[in-house]
């Protein structure tokens, strides 16, 4: 249902370096970019994520209660994404670990303060 999610940034170069590494771990790369926008994902491969400097020219701000979740293939991949995010300067919002029997997740904020999550959910 969701095609992509776009987050604001005030420093596209810094944010792009962060997302290049996170998305590489998730098996995708940049699929679209311009001077003020970059999108990561795979055409016809599920929802992607984009970063943009706001069109109105005002500063990008964080949405309170807004979060983007990256689906991982295993709890081990969640651990790798979370660890990579921390190494890239992300702020911890909840260490990677089990959240109930069938859900494993790690929560963090990107360099602009956007809240992200890497998760795995047992299928079936």
* pLDDT at residue 43 in the model: 83
Confirm whether 59 is domain-assigned: no
Confirm whether 74 is domain-assigned: yes
Antiparallel, parallel or unpaired: β 91-98 and 37-41: unpaired
Cβ within 8 Å of residue 16, ≥6 positions away:
38, 51
pLDDT digits (tens, 9 = 90+) for 52-98: 999 899 999 988 889 999 999 999 999 999 999 999 999 999 999 99
**Banded pLDDT at 1 (limits 50, 70, 90):** low
Crossing angle between the packed helical segments 12-25 and 75-87, to the nearest 10 degrees: 160
Angle (nearest 5°) at CA 21 between 82 and 32: 125
**Banded pLDDT at 36 (limits 50, 70, 90):** very high
Whether pTM > 0.75 for this model: the answer is yes
Q: State how far the Cα of 44 lies from the Cα of 58, in Å rounded to an integer.
A: 32
Q: State how far the Cα of 91 lies from the Cα of 111, in Å rounded to an integer.
A: 8
Confirm whether 50 is domain-assigned: no
pLDDT digits (tens, 9 = 90+) for 7-34: 999 999 999 999 999 999 999 999 999 9
Q: Which residues span the domain enclosing 76?
A: 4-42+67-121
Confirm whether 62 is domain-assigned: no
For the domain that residue 111 is a member of, what is the CATH number? 3.10.180.10
Confirm whether 56 is domain-assigned: no
Number of domains in the chain: 1
With H, G, I as helix, E, B as strand and everything else as coil, classify residue 116.
Answer: strand
With H, G, I as helix, E, B as strand and everything else as coil, classify residue 53.
Answer: coil
Q: Which residue has the tokens 């992607």?
A: 48
Distance of CA 39 to the CA centre of its chain: 11
Are the beta carbons of 40 and 23 closer than 8 angstroms?
yes
């Amino acid at each position: 249902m969701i095609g992509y999610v776009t987050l604001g940034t005030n420093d596209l170069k810094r944010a792009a370096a962060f997302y290049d590494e996170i998305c590489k771990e998730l098996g995708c790369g940049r699929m679209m970019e311009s001077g003020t926008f970059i999108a990561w994902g795979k055409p016809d491969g599920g929802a992607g994520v984009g970063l943009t400097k706001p069109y109105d020219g005002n500063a990008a701000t964080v949405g309170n209660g807004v979060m983007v979740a990256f689906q991982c293939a295993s709890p081990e991949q969640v651990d790798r994404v979370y660890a990579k995010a921390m190494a890239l300067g992300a702020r911890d919002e909840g260490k990677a670990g089990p959240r109930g029997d069938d859900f494993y997740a790690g929560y963090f904020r990107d360099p602009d303060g956007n809240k992200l999550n890497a998760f795995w959910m047992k299928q079936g």
